[in-house]
Structure 1
Amino acid sequence: MTPSSEPIHEPVKAPPRLDFAIVGQPKSGTTALAQFLSEHPQIAFSVPKESAYFATDFHRESDAFHGRQVYFNYRTPQDFKALFEHADEGQLLGEGSTSSLYSVEAAQNLHAHNPEMKIIAMFRDPVAMIHALHTQYVNETVEDLDFEAAIAAEDERAAGRMVPSRVRSPSYVLYGRRTAYTDQLRRFEDLFGPRQILNVLSEEFRDDNAGTFASVAGFLGIDPEFQPDFRTVHGSQTARSGFLNRALNQPRFKNRLSSWLGPRRYTALRDRVAGAVFKSSSRPEIDPTLDAALRKRFKAEVVRFGEHIGRDLSTIWHGYV
């Protein structure tokens, strides 16, 4: 090929085999990192970003709760292959389901899929993470309790009561259980080993997009000189119309539309509609008393996790005293 010639791209013919997965916590920068990586010419990122394909425990839990399959539409090898229709030969394939870190089965399923793949695990201050996640679920018409009530209802929900009817899987609204970072990371370390895992702190990524991206690029073995369009992705939002938002989030409507359009066209349409339905806003503040109580509750895990990854998290995640 001469320097001036155009590269010839051919669709991937073999079943897709992931080269890496972003398995970070929700609301921890995974969408931004996935977007930046998807702009890299050496990367083909799944569309949509989150298929939850490997979180088979949540598939079963969801079906049992709803009495049939309502959510988790990517379950077969054919479904998974459709996520990479856009991939070109030679590109690294990546996927970014946040459910993979929380799931008990996803690490083992990912390892069975490709034991040599690389794992990017992203973590955020746990109180900030669950508060942001709760806000997202309210916006998606999934959560029907305010933040304080949802935290208080965790034991009831774990027993199968007070679970919102639109939740993808009941475990999704057990917010406190999502903060067991050490055990979640260990599931991956036990299978993949530390050399195949890169831990990224959301706050450091937020403060230095370029530096974090360069570290990720080096970890993946792609050109670290490439600069994506660094910008805010998935900032805090509120719905312009609660009625319209609830109507558009009807599971049956979304499933039929996704089946008709296919993954790529559905994702593109969903993002455009979200731009019209939602507006940027500041996230509601946590009640100071509740914030202090949660930081006290999660202190032991924050200390444990910091020791596990060899970081003094007190300089990054504040208030755990």
Structure 2
Amino acid sequence: MALPDFFLLGAPKAGTTALHAALAQHPQLYLSAVKEPKFYLCDGRPPPRSGQRGPGDAHSAQEWVWRRGEYEALFDVAPPGTLKGESTPFYLYDRTAQRRIHADVPHAKMLVVLRDPIDRAYSNWMHLWSDGLEPIGDFAQAWAAEDARVEAGWAPFWHYRRLGLYGEQLRDLIDLFGREQVHVLRYRDLVETPDLALDKVCAFLGVDPGRVEQPARENSRSYVEPGARSAVLSRVVRAGAAAGACAPPQIWRRASEPLLRLLQQGGARRPVLDQEVRMRLVEAYREDNALLNELAGQSFGDWMGTTSRGQFAPTAGEN
């Protein structure tokens, strides 16, 4: 069977897209052409609608690679002798996915990319807001809506707070695979010292260092300022995404491109998260952060401060 030798996981908006693109350059590695196939989130069947009830969820779920034959075909074209890998950040959050991976490839290596959980959640919210899918135009209010959304069956991408509980997620991953099969990489290191960070990743995977270039900024959105215009356009986007759940995903993507360009035009600079809001929300991670420090053998204490650190160049579209 053609299955991965390693996985890139962590959380959405934590740098896995950039790392995937960087490692794909390495001649000794093969990264699946489909990023985030999400195969191990499934159980040999399409993702259930009961867990895809947020705006755009059902449309997005159509792109998941849930058939085993299609998943294995992603790696059939890997050159002989290369290590095969794929990137699905949600595998860290989903414990059932972790167990499925372990059952299939118990010796796989796990690359875990972690980002300041408040920065990550804010970027996650910004991504959905700027795509017209997030109906709440205030980050703190959207954060507060999480429990109700989880209860209603919104997909994991909407779990702003829960996705950042890295300590308990990493604990369960290590319990399955062992500490020697897990490498923890900080988003901040990938940004600030990319050559060193990438060489450590290569050493962990057992391939030659110095064979990949610094990752470029990936997967960004232009900030959409709240207002009557954006509210109308966003409602149209959400209605279209709901309708698109009944059509092939590529059709809705093509149809929505002009609308998204109109929504995102202007390239407004993303506002900095208010320090008071940040400190109120960061308390949700204090206990979990202590567990993460212990498991990873390094300090993530800077995440408990009033300001974020470590991001790609702050352009108008960065998030």
Q: By the TM > 0.5 criterion, same fold?
A: yes
The match for 2:313 is none
- Distance across 2 between alignment mates of 1:69 and 1:135: 20
1:188 and 2:173 matched: yes
CA RMSD of aligned residues (A): 3.4
**Is 1:83–2:64 an aligned residue pair?**
no
Alignment-mate amino acid for residue 142 of structure 1: L
Work out the CA distance in 2 between the residues paired with 1:299 and 1:96.
28
**Is there any run of 5+ residues in structure 1 with no aligned partner, and where?**
1-14, 261-265
| TM-score normalised by the chain length of structure 1 | 0.77
Q: Percent identity?
A: 24
In 2, Cα distance between the equivalents of 1:221 and 1:274?
A: 45
Alpha-carbon displacement from aligned partner over 1:220-272 (angstroms, at most 9, x marks no partner): 111212132542223453469964993897366586255x9xxxxx9xx99x9
Seen in structure 2, the aligned counterparts of structure 1 residues 61 and 83 have a Cα distance that, compared at 3 Å, is closer
Q: 1:154 aligns with which of 128, 146, 157?
A: 146
Does the Cα contact within 8 Å between 2:4 and 2:75 map onto a contact in 1? no
Gap change, CA 1:300 and 1:221, over 3 Å in 2:
same
Partner of 1:232: 217
Match of 1:293 among 249, 272, 280: 280
1:278-307 Cα distance to aligned partner (Å, 9 max, x none): 676543322332111012232222222212
Equivalent in the alignment of 1:9: none
For the residues of structure 2 that align with 1:273 and 1:41, how far apart are their CA atoms?
A: 38
Match of 2:158 in 1: 173
Q: Of 19, 25, 32, which residue of structure 1 is paired with 2:18?
A: 32
The match for 1:306 is 293
Three-state SS of the structure 1 residue aligned to 2:92 is: helix
8 A Cα contact 1:56 1:105, kept in partner: no
Would you say the 8 A contact 1:203–1:316 is kept in 2?
A: no
Contact 2:286 2:304 in 1 (8 A): no
| Runs ≥4 residues deviating over 4 A | 59-62, 65-70, 239-245, 251-255, 272-281
Gap regions ≥5 residues in structure 2: 308-319
Structure 1 segment 4-153 matched on structure 2, within 5 A: 15-56=1-42, 62-65=48-51, 70=59, 71=61, 73-84=64-75, 86-145=77-136, 146-153=138-145
Q: 1:116 to 1:56 in 2, by over 3 A?
A: same
Q: Which has the higher contact order (CA 8 A, sep 6+)?
A: 2
- In the superposition, the TM-score normalised over structure 2's length comes to 0.78
Alignment partners' CA distance in 2, 1:66 and 1:311: 36
Aligned pair in 2 of structure 1 residues 150, 31: CA closer, same or farther (>3 Å)? Answer: same
- Bigger shift: 236-245 or 203-212? 236-245
Identify if the C-alpha distance between structure 1 residues 114 and 249 changes in structure 2 by more than 3 Å, giving closer, same or farther: farther
Q: Which one-letter code corresponds to 1:127 in the other structure? A: I
